[in-house]
Structures are given as C-alpha cells and as structure tokens.
Amino acid sequence: MAVNYDPNLIGRVFETTDPVEVKAERIRSFCEALGESSPQYAGGEVAPPAYAVTFRNGRHFFQHVPRFGRAGFDAGKDVEFVRPIRAGDKITLSSHVKEIYEKTGRTGTMVFVVVRSTLKNQNGEEVAHIDHRFMNRT
C-alpha cells in the first residue's frame, strides 16, 4: 500500500520563526549544564554544536505536520551542524516537510514524516539542520 499525500507538501516552507539572539551567558549556562569545559566553548563566545537543539520551532509547528492513521509519536531527531553559532548571532528557523515514506514492521504499516528545520544566522548563513522524524500507525 502506497501512502497517499499531496506531493506539494514536500519542500514547501510552512513556518519561519522570529530571530532569537544568542547570548554569551546562555552559552556559558548551557556548557555548565552539560559539563562542557573546553575553553573554546566555556567562554561563551562560540556555542558547542549541541546548542543548535535549544532553538524552538514556532507555536504552529505541529499544526503543519501531516498526520496519517490513528496514533503516532516523535521518532527522533537528526542534527547536522554546518557552522558555529556565536554569541550575538540572531537565529531563525524555517521548517518544511522533507519527506514522507512508509515502512512495514512487526506490528503493521507505519508512515514516517520528516520535517526539516533549517537554522540560519542574521547573514542568512545556514548553521544547522534538524530533521524531526514522526511515526504514525495506519
């Protein structure tokens, strides 16, 4: 059974957040919470790569994620780091459906929706990609 969806969903940006300024103090707090003691990050001028996951999608993000079937859950995230995030950067996220695919497992058919959030700084440079994977039972 092939999953049925509007192919125009793929690649269309459905949300872009307002810019969020990166503060040195937030980077330092993040490093402290994780036990990150590397001088290149602990000073707060450059964020460690994992800092990319601290940015949040907009309020309406989940309203745009296609749903298939009766139940589902967050099946994980993949993060691709492109360039360093620095104190003073203003980060925006834009999100689009990257792909929709079907798999059959022990318990039946599942439909996966991958939503990609691209993080950019104030210069329009990509700093990271976060692929949110959602699984739905059909």
> What residue ranges define each of the domains in the chain, with the CATH number in brackets?
7-22+58-137 (3.10.129.10)
Average pLDDT, the chain: 89
Q: Which residues contact 3 (CB under 8 A, 6 or more apart)?
A: 68, 100, 101, 102, 111, 138
Confidence tier at 8 by pLDDT (50, 70, 90) = confident
Q: CB under 8 Å to 120, separation ≥6 — which residues?
A: 91, 92, 94, 126, 127
pLDDT tens digits for range 60-117: 777 777 777 777 777 889 999 999 999 999 999 999 999 999 988 887 888 999 999 9
Percent of the chain with pLDDT over 70: 97
In this predicted structure, what is the pLDDT of residue 1?
Answer: 54
